[in-house]
Structure 1
């Protein structure tokens, strides 16, 4: 029997949460933060988490935020708020990339996204008419399939993106792992713009990379952080522990969130029970819409009572308060 490659260990327990505000106390989106020779950016909520395991903070005793030098001790500081002499501006642009596993097990998910895409975008455009939105699409399968990676350049045309999605078919695959690493790499290589806005990648998948490609995930995470691309994995039917492990790290380390389908969705085959103590279940199109609204507004948008299908555990505005007996592996 082939010995499995150990999952890559990336320490996330030690982190520093930065909050960058303007002189009026408003969150600053895409504030440039220099950590030694590394450049990072705040999200639309003015927040950036720095991880010593990823951001090379060794021997660093200060950071530079928008030309302002800030002394910092990574060993003793867990959270820091910085006020800069700038005025925050509203998000003006959104680059939205879908990276999708198109092997045979993903046919329901592909069909759903193609069907609901226009509705999701129309809702966002109605609420944020001044935001310039571009859409990108990257598809991946695995070696031996009709293609390994196929991509479509960013476009601002909703109808064109909808047609690109609708024209795809899910087939191939066979073994469990797929070319996830190559799909993410191709997505990151796209012509991202949104210099004054938000860059989001939705990774729709149900399988991890091959064992021999696991070591590529940390460099991909670092590249996403370099480019301020926030990854929101959507765990589809068939996601098991190895895939969930990778997808959770992608989300956490790029300032995204790990999203997942449940059997309530009616999409795909049966789904693994989420390994979190609490969560809320809504329709996928509503979830994607809330993610985009949260990114554009800089404030977490929660589900309304009408949207909730069910709630598991004690959930309150993104905070989980588990009981002593709950599984808190998240």
Structure 2
């Protein structure tokens, strides 16, 4: 962040909120809020005119029978109101996910569609499970051919990095995502 010449920073958190995250979701939510607060404090200490905008995407997974896990994907577009992010993040619960892989592609698709406007852009993907497609894992997968909506994770990351010029960081929870 210090190397950025921008006075405004955008930070997007994309987090797995499926049932497999049950034992980690509380600490992940706390860390997201802590990171957000620390970055906001740091940027503001650099310049009184600096701003931090944050967004949050909670994704879950497709059902084997069709449809999507409840409560579905939650999206909070960029805002300077950290209290709004705190509310959205705080309301997330771990639910759904009937196979090993989860809908990372759905979360990334939502992130690509946010209103990115500033020059300094950062995305943190937080997950304990890989995306759908046998090339990413050795788990039971209801969608072994890949994302049911046809998204390809590599293309989405390329869009974020090259087209949106976003720095992407992956925060892995366990070794299930190593192959991905």
TM range (shorter): 0.7 to 0.9
Q: Using the alignment, how far apart are the partners of 1:109 and 1:180 within structure 2?
A: 17
CA contact (8 A) 2:13 2:32 kept: no
Q: Using the alignment, how far apart are the partners of 1:223 and 1:176 within structure 2?
A: 26
Deviations 1:17-74 (A, max 9, x none): xxxxxxxxxxxxxxxxxxxxxxxxxx975xxxxxxxxxxxxxxxxxxxxxxxxxxxxx
CA contact (8 A) 1:134 1:156 kept: yes
Q: Using the alignment, how far apart are the partners of 2:60 and 2:86 within structure 1?
A: 20
**Paired residue for 2:5, among 68, 90, 100?**
90
**CA 122–147 in structure 1, closer or farther in 2 if over 3 Å, else same:** closer
Could you list the runs of 5+ residues in structure 2 that have no partner in the other structure? 64-68, 134-144
* TM-score calculated relative to the size of structure 2: 0.76
Give 1 or 2: higher helix fraction: 2
Q: Which residue of 1 aligns with 2:152?
A: 216
Quote the offset at 1:153 in angstroms: 1.6
Higher RCO (Cα < 8 Å, 6 or more apart): 2
Quote the offset at 1:107 in angstroms: 2.7
Size of the aligned set, in residue pairs, is 156
Q: Using the alignment, how far apart are the partners of 1:229 and 1:186 within structure 2?
A: 14
- Note the aligned Cα RMSD (angstroms): 2.3
Quote the offset at 1:221 in angstroms: 2.4
| 1:235 and 2:172 correspond | yes
CA contact (8 A) 2:75 2:110 kept: yes
Could you list the runs of 5+ residues in structure 1 that have no partner in the other structure? 1-42, 46-88, 247-330
Q: Using the alignment, how far apart are the partners of 1:147 and 1:118 within structure 2?
A: 21
**Paired residue for 2:108, among 179, 184, 196?**
184
